[in-house]
Structure 1
Amino acid sequence: MRKLLPFVLVALTTLCFLPSAHCAKQEDPIAQLQETNTETNQPNGLHWGPNPKTYSNWTTHSNRLIPVYSFGITLDSVNGENSVYRSEEKLKSLFGYVPTKTVNPTAEYFDQTDVYQLQKQAVESGKKRIILFVYDGMDWQTTWAAAISKSGQVPYREGRGTGLHFQDYRGTTTDFGYFVTTPHNDGTDVNVDRQIVTSPGGSTLGGYDPHEAGDKPWSIPPDAGYPIAKGKNTKHAYTDSSASATSMTSGIKTYNNAVNVDYMGREILPIARQLQNEGWHVGVVTSVPICHATPGSAYANNVHRYDYQDITRDLIGLPSVFHPGALPGLDVLIGGGSGDHKDKDGKQGANFVPGNPYLTKEDMDSIDVANGGKYVIAERTAGRTGPEVLQEATAKAIAEKKRLFGFFGVSGGHLPFQTADGDFNPVGSRPSKVEKYTEADISENVTLSDMSLSALDCLEAKGKPWWLMIEAGDVDWANHSNNIDNSIGAVLSGDQAFHNVTKWIEEHGGWDDTCLILTADHGHYLVLEKPEVLTEK
Structure 2
Amino acid sequence: MFLAIVPIAHCARPGDPVAELQETNTETNETNGLHWGPNPKTYSNWTTHSNRLIPVYTFGINLDSVRGQNSIYRSEEKLKELFGFVPTKTVNPEAEYFDQTDVYRLQKMAVDSGKKRIILFVYDGMDWQTTWAAAINKSGKVPYREGRGTGLHFQDYRGATTDFGYFVTTPHNSGTDVNVDRQIVTSPGGSTKGGYDPKEAGDKPWSIPPDANYPIAKGKNTKHAYTDSSASATSMTAGIKTYNNAVNVDYLGREILPISRQLQSEGWHIGVVTSVPICHATPGSAYANNVHRYDYQDITRDMIGLPSVFHPGALPGVDVLIGGGSGDKKEKDGNQGENFVPGNPYLTQEDMEKINLANGGPYVVAERTSGRKGPEVLEEAKAKAIAEEKRLFGFFGVKGGHLPFQTANGDFNPVGSRPSKVEKYTEADISENVTLSDMSLAALDTLEAKGKPWWLMIEAGDVDWANHSNNIDNSIGAVLSGDQAFHSVTKWIEEHGGWDDTCLILTADHGHYLVLEDPEVLTVK
**What is the TM-score when the length of structure 2 is the normalising length?**
0.99
**1:274 pairs with one of 244, 262, 274:** 262
Q: Is the 8 A contact 2:69 2:96 kept in 1?
A: yes
Q: Is the 8 A contact 1:129 1:466 kept in 2?
A: yes
Q: Is the 8 A contact 1:48 1:59 kept in 2?
A: yes
Q: What CA distance in whole angstroms lies between the structure 1 residues aligned with 2:239 and 2:90?
A: 19
Q: Does 1:126 align with 2:114?
A: yes
Q: Is the 8 A contact 1:69 1:174 kept in 2?
A: yes
User: For structure 1, which runs of at least 5 residues remain unmatched after alignment?
Assistant: 1-17
Q: What is the RMSD computed on CA atoms of the aligned residues?
A: 0.8
Cα deviation code 1:358-401 (max 9, x no counterpart): 00000000000000000000000000000000000000000000
Partner residue, 1:460? 448
Q: What CA distance in whole angstroms lies between the structure 2 residues aligned with 1:19 and 1:103?
A: 48
Q: Does 1:483 align with 2:471?
A: yes
Q: What CA distance in whole angstroms lies between the structure 1 residues aligned with 2:486 and 2:445?
A: 15
Q: What CA distance in whole angstroms lies between the structure 1 residues aligned with 2:12 and 2:235?
A: 40
Q: What CA distance in whole angstroms lies between the structure 2 residues aligned with 1:237 and 1:386?
A: 41
Cα deviation for residue 189 of structure 1 reads 0.3
Cα deviation for residue 22 of structure 1 reads 4.2
Q: Give aligned pairs, total.
A: 521
**2:523 pairs with one of 516, 521, 535:** 535
Cα deviation for residue 24 of structure 1 reads 3.6
Q: Is the 8 A contact 2:275 2:403 kept in 1?
A: yes
**1:497 pairs with one of 485, 504, 508:** 485
Partner residue, 1:300? 288
Q: Is the 8 A contact 1:50 1:57 kept in 2?
A: yes
Cα deviation for residue 19 of structure 1 reads 2.6
Q: Does 1:216 align with 2:194?
A: no
Q: What CA distance in whole angstroms lies between the structure 1 residues aligned with 2:387 and 2:128?
A: 42
Cα deviation code 1:91-132 (max 9, x no counterpart): 000000000000000000000000000000000000000000
In the TM superposition, what are the counterparts of 1:345-384 in structure 2 within 5 Å? 345-384=333-372
Q: Is the 8 A contact 2:195 2:225 kept in 1?
A: yes
Q: What CA distance in whole angstroms lies between the structure 2 residues aligned with 1:35 and 1:433?
A: 12
Secondary structure of the residue aligned to 1:328 is coil
Query: 1:205 corresponds to which letter in structure 2?
Result: K
Partner residue, 2:227? 239
In the TM superposition, what are the counterparts of 1:168-317 in structure 2 within 5 Å? 168-317=156-305
Secondary structure of the residue aligned to 1:435 is strand
Cα deviation code 1:157-214 (max 9, x no counterpart): 0000000000000001000000000000000000000000000000000000000000
Question: Quick one: percent identity of the two aligned structures?
Answer: 89
Q: Is the 8 A contact 2:297 2:336 kept in 1?
A: yes
Query: 1:175 corresponds to which letter in structure 2?
Result: D
**What is the TM-score when the length of structure 1 is the normalising length?**
0.97
Query: 1:55 corresponds to which letter in structure 2?
Result: Y
Partner residue, 2:379? 391
Cα deviation for residue 455 of structure 1 reads 0.1
Q: Does 1:144 align with 2:132?
A: yes
Cα deviation for residue 25 of structure 1 reads 2.5
Q: What CA distance in whole angstroms lies between the structure 1 residues aligned with 2:224 and 2:297?
A: 32
Q: Is the 8 A contact 2:9 2:27 kept in 1?
A: no
Cα deviation code 1:407-455 (max 9, x no counterpart): 0000000000000000000001000010000000000000000000000
Cα deviation for residue 23 of structure 1 reads 3.0
Partner residue, 2:514? 526
Q: What CA distance in whole angstroms lies between the structure 2 residues aligned with 1:231 and 1:201?
A: 20
Q: What CA distance in whole angstroms lies between the structure 1 residues aligned with 2:524 and 2:420?
A: 25
Partner residue, 2:3? none
Query: 1:365 corresponds to which letter in structure 2?
Result: E
Q: What CA distance in whole angstroms lies between the structure 2 residues aligned with 1:101 and 1:486?
A: 36
Q: What CA distance in whole angstroms lies between the structure 1 residues aligned with 2:232 and 2:12?
A: 35
Query: 1:408 corresponds to which letter in structure 2?
Result: F
Partner residue, 2:422? 434
Query: 2:124 corresponds to which letter in structure 1?
Result: D
Query: 1:327 corresponds to which letter in structure 2?
Result: L
Cα deviation for residue 21 of structure 1 reads 6.0
Query: 2:187 corresponds to which letter in structure 1?
Result: S
Q: What CA distance in whole angstroms lies between the structure 2 residues aligned with 1:340 and 1:22?
A: 27
Q: Does 1:327 align with 2:315?
A: yes
Secondary structure of the residue aligned to 1:305 is coil
Q: Is the 8 A contact 2:258 2:287 kept in 1?
A: yes
Partner residue, 2:95? 107
Secondary structure of the residue aligned to 1:91 is helix
Cα deviation for residue 20 of structure 1 reads 3.0
Cα deviation code 1:248-288 (max 9, x no counterpart): 00000000000000000000000000000000000000000
Query: 2:222 corresponds to which letter in structure 1?
Result: T
Q: Is the 8 A contact 2:12 2:24 kept in 1?
A: no
Q: Does 1:161 align with 2:149?
A: yes
Q: Does 1:98 align with 2:90?
A: no
Q: Which has the larger radius of gyration?
A: 1
Q: Is the 8 A contact 1:42 1:55 kept in 2?
A: yes
Q: What CA distance in whole angstroms lies between the structure 1 residues aligned with 2:292 and 2:12?
A: 39
Partner residue, 2:497? 509
Query: 1:403 corresponds to which letter in structure 2?
Result: R
Q: What CA distance in whole angstroms lies between the structure 1 residues aligned with 2:160 and 2:179?
A: 47
Partner residue, 2:40? 52
**1:28 pairs with one of 13, 16, 28:** 16
Q: Is the 8 A contact 1:188 1:202 kept in 2?
A: yes
Q: Is the 8 A contact 1:19 1:429 kept in 2?
A: no
User: For structure 2, which runs of at least 5 residues remain unmatched after alignment?
Assistant: 1-5
Q: Is the 8 A contact 1:22 1:427 kept in 2?
A: no
Cα deviation for residue 237 of structure 1 reads 0.1
Q: What CA distance in whole angstroms lies between the structure 2 residues aligned with 1:279 and 1:162?
A: 38
**2:433 pairs with one of 445, 448, 463:** 445
Q: What CA distance in whole angstroms lies between the structure 2 residues aligned with 1:21 and 1:218?
A: 33
Cα deviation for residue 307 of structure 1 reads 0.1
Cα deviation for residue 304 of structure 1 reads 0.1
Secondary structure of the residue aligned to 1:327 is coil
Secondary structure of the residue aligned to 2:146 is coil
**1:407 pairs with one of 378, 385, 395:** 395
Secondary structure of the residue aligned to 2:240 is coil
Secondary structure of the residue aligned to 2:423 is coil
Partner residue, 1:6? none
Cα deviation code 1:479-533 (max 9, x no counterpart): 0000000000000000000000000000000000000000000000000000000
Q: Is the 8 A contact 1:48 1:527 kept in 2?
A: yes
Q: Is the 8 A contact 1:21 1:434 kept in 2?
A: no
Please list every run of at least 4 consecutive aligned residues from structure 1 whose deviation after the TM superposition is greater than 2 angstroms: 18-25
